[in-house]
Amino acid sequence: MRYVIIGAGGIGGTIGARLFQSGHDVILSARGSHLAALRSTGLRFITPNGTETLRIPAVGGPADLELREDDVLIVATKTQDTAAALAAWAPHADGLPVVCAQNAVENERLALRLFADVYGMLVWMPALHLEPGTIVAYGTPKSGMLSVGRYPQGVDKLSETIAADLDRSGFASWADPAIMRWKYGKLLGNLGNAVEALAGPDPAGLDLAGRAREEGVAVLTAAGIDVTTPDEERARRGRLVEHGEIEGVPRPGGSSWQSLAKGSGTIEADYLNGEIVLLGRAHGVATPVNAMLQREANRAARESRPPGSLSVGELTALM
């Protein structure tokens, strides 16, 4: 079986690197200067245990690759890029399974429009990708927690095989029949991403992030959506994945922070805070905190503002 990683950023790059290190056949798909660096010098993979350069084959898209019957596509783009990525690969990948190794809960629905066999993956992995050709993975002793299951529910032989491959490759992984329950739990945890991106690592932002989560819990309850609890998540993760320190490479922020830092022009708020806003409107639950965070995160990305461009007080006033 060969793993084709679509989106070789912090998450996809780490998954690909660990699978490659453990002897699996891996292809990385990337764009622009990141692709050029992967092709010319390889992937510089930095972890708490050291730095290694991995010569993993890299392509720019399906036109650069002859797909095989035993390929598994792992999509690790940001959600705002999922539709375009799937549309590019679908004409060349008929019959292949797709694994959504992403935050948010919209990716699997997008994939199911184009692919028959879709799998969701919970991603709990502290990683950083700001420099072309370089991925930093902070998780230790495991690089991340990755459960996988069929979408919308169930497990099968393939999900069990993928989980076993990941578990033997430096991740805490298992096949879970209720994978979306875990992904909705992760969604609640990601509602504070926009606070960190907009206001930086200000402790005062914890209260605002907590208010966003409270809205999320109320919305999911009204929608009748089952979700994991923080205690359940911590119990499952245990001491398997902790944030390790890497000398000279501190982790400045999460995925949304990194989107602003790179000036990518887009951010995932529509599919994190925006998911809560959508469900709130559908079920009659007010979501003023998440609506403000969605709006201001998109504005910051659109205007190429750096991370930390607003204070927590300014954000609160904008509600």
Give the dihedral of Cα atoms 31, 107, 116, 2; nearest 10 deg.
40
pLDDT in tens, 219-244: 999 999 999 999 999 999 999 999 99
Distance, in Å, from the CA atom of 191 to the CA atom of 176, rounded to the nearest integer, reads 23
Distance, in Å, from the CA atom of 120 to the CA atom of 130, rounded to the nearest integer, reads 26
Which domain-ending residue is among 140, 157, 177?
177
pLDDT at 214 over 90: yes
Of the candidates 170, 125, 120, 112, which has an alpha carbon nearest to the alpha carbon of residue 11?
A: 125
Number of domains in the chain: 2
pLDDT at 74 over 90: yes
Q: Evaluate whether 117 touches 92 at the Cβ level (below 8 Å).
A: no
pLDDT at 272 over 90: yes
Distance, in Å, from the CA atom of 266 to the CA atom of 274, rounded to the nearest integer, reads 14
pLDDT at 105 over 90: yes
Indicate whether 305 and 189 sit together in one domain.
yes
Q: Which residue blocks in the chain are alpha helix, DSSP H?
A: 10-21, 32-40, 82-89, 107-112, 157-167, 179-190, 193-199, 205-223, 230-237, 255-262, 273-283, 288-302, 312-317
pLDDT in tens, 164-199: 999 999 999 999 999 999 999 999 999 999 999 999
CA distances from 49 to 43, 53, 83, 133, 245 (A): 16, 13, 36, 19, 10
CA distances from 62 to 4, 180, 277 (A): 10, 28, 35
Indicate whether 189 and 166 sit together in one domain.
no
CATH number of the CATH domain containing 172? 3.40.50.720
Distance, in Å, from the CA atom of 217 to the CA atom of 53, rounded to the nearest integer, reads 42
Query: Please, how many CA atoms are within 13 Å of residue 88, restricted to the half-sphere of its CB?
Result: 18
Q: Evaluate whether 166 touches 146 at the Cβ level (below 8 Å).
A: yes
Indicate whether 191 and 300 sit together in one domain.
yes
Which domain-ending residue is among 150, 177, 204?
177
Average pLDDT for the chain = 97
pLDDT-derived band of residue 201, with 50, 70 and 90 as boundaries?
confident
Structural domain span for residue 72: 2-177
Indicate whether 238 and 313 sit together in one domain.
yes
Average pLDDT of span 109-132: 97
Alpha-carbon radius of gyration of the chain: 19
Indicate whether 17 and 131 sit together in one domain.
yes
Indicate whether 217 and 244 sit together in one domain.
yes
Distance, in Å, from the CA atom of 80 to the CA atom of 107, rounded to the nearest integer, reads 9
pLDDT at 22 over 90: yes
| Residue 75, strand partner residues | 6, 100
CATH number of the CATH domain containing 273? 1.10.1040.10
pLDDT of residue 143: 98
pTM above 0.95, yes or no: yes
Provide the percentage of residues in the chain whose pLDDT is more than 70.
Answer: 100
Distance, in Å, from the CA atom of 35 to the CA atom of 6, rounded to the nearest integer, reads 12
Indicate whether 167 and 226 sit together in one domain.
no
3-state secondary structure of 174: strand
Distance, in Å, from the CA atom of 260 to the CA atom of 272, rounded to the nearest integer, reads 16
pLDDT at 319 over 90: no
Q: Which residue blocks in 41-156 are alpha helix, DSSP H?
A: 82-89, 107-112
Indicate whether 163 and 226 sit together in one domain.
no
pLDDT in tens, 285-306: 999 999 999 999 999 999 999 9
Distance, in Å, from the CA atom of 237 to the CA atom of 233, rounded to the nearest integer, reads 6
Which domain-ending residue is among 177, 209, 244?
177
pLDDT at 307 over 90: yes
Indicate whether 142 and 202 sit together in one domain.
no
Indicate whether 69 and 150 sit together in one domain.
yes
**Structure token pair of residue 246:** 């890497």
Indicate whether 153 and 219 sit together in one domain.
no
